[in-house]
Structure 1
Amino acid sequence: MKLALGPLLYYWPRAQVLAFYESVANSPVDIVYLGEAVCSRRHELRLADWLDIAKKLRDAGKEVVLSTQVLIESGADVTVLHKIADNGEFMVEANDMGAVHCVEGKVPFVGGPHLNIYNLPTLEWMAPLGMQRWVPPLEMGRDDLALIQQGRPAGLQTEVFAYGRMPLAFSARCFTARHANLPKDDCQFKCMEHPDGLLMRTRESEEFLVLNGIQTQSARVYNLLPEVNALRAIGVDVIRISPQAQHTLRIVELFAAVMAGQKTAQDADAELHTLMPEKSCNGYWYGKPGLEQVTPALVSA
Structure 2
Amino acid sequence: MTAEDKRIFRFAPSPNGYLHLGHAYSALLNFDLARQVGGRLLLRIEDIDTGRARPEFEAAIYDDLAWLGIDWERPARRQSEHFGDYSVALERLDEMGFLYACDCRRSDIARATDGKPDWPRDPDGSPLYPGTCRAKPRRPAREALAAGGVALRLDMRKASALAGQGLTWQEFGALPLSSNGDELGATIGADPARWGDVVLARKDTPASYHIAVVVDDALQGVTDVVRGSDLFEATSLHRLLQVLLDLPAPDYLHHDLILDEKSEKLAKSVASTALRALRAEGWTPADVRRRIGL
TM-score after normalising by structure 2? 0.31
TM-score after normalising by structure 1? 0.31
More strand by share: 1
Whichever of the two has the greater Rg, that structure is 2
